[in-house]
Amino acid sequence: MEDHKIVQRNLALQREWYGEPLGDRVRRLVVAFNVSQAQLADVLGISAPMLSQVMSGRRAKIGNPSVLARMIMLERKVLTPDVATGAPEALQRALDDVRESKPTVSRDSLPVNGDESVAYPVLRRVADRVELQQAADLLHEDFPAIAELFRRAIRAAGYPVK
């Protein structure tokens, strides 16, 4: 198979396996954390040439599940309030946390930051306080856990919840 066809096949596989090409995900992290690809590779625990091959589609997958777990950790950290500000010390702290992590991946769990508070800013970007409250009220009977998540997002923004 010629190189172009291999790359296209690998990118299609990445869309299937990871939801989108890994190059897109990695580029967002490079921009969000203001680092080079080589620096990001170091944080993820992968060689810079390997990361480049995955990004370009010359390789289809990240073979080490811990590397994927670290990438997901970074993607989630982007959503945290301190990292979202872009403050250099917050960015560096997040990168150091992920670099020093020792994720283990099992069939039942992927070790990522389980702190649901990372969802609060996202929820508040897609819905204002009133919409979140209305959604919580509608969901309360059948989906109380989701309703409570919406209420916590409202409280985290400093608003009272009825």
* pLDDT tens for the 162 residues of the chain, in order: 688 999 999 999 999 888 899 999 999 999 999 999 999 999 999 999 999 999 999 999 998 889 999 999 999 999 888 898 999 999 999 999 999 998 876 555 444 445 666 778 888 888 889 999 999 999 989 888 898 888 988 888 888 887
Distance from C-alpha of 98 to C-alpha of 71, rounded to nearest angstrom: 9
Query: Residue type for 147, please?
Result: A
Write a three-state SS string for the chain.
CCHHHHHHHHHHHHHHHHCCCHHHHHHHHHHHHCCCHHHHHHHHCCCHHHHHHHHHCCCCCCCCHHHHHHHHHHHHHCCCHHHHCCCHHHHHHHHHHHHHCCCCCCCCCCCCCCCHHHHHHHHHHHCCHHHHHHHHHHHCCCCHHHHHHHHHHHHHCCCCCC
Distance from C-alpha of 60 to C-alpha of 44, rounded to nearest angstrom: 17
Distance from C-alpha of 112 to C-alpha of 123, rounded to nearest angstrom: 19
pTM of the model: 0.64
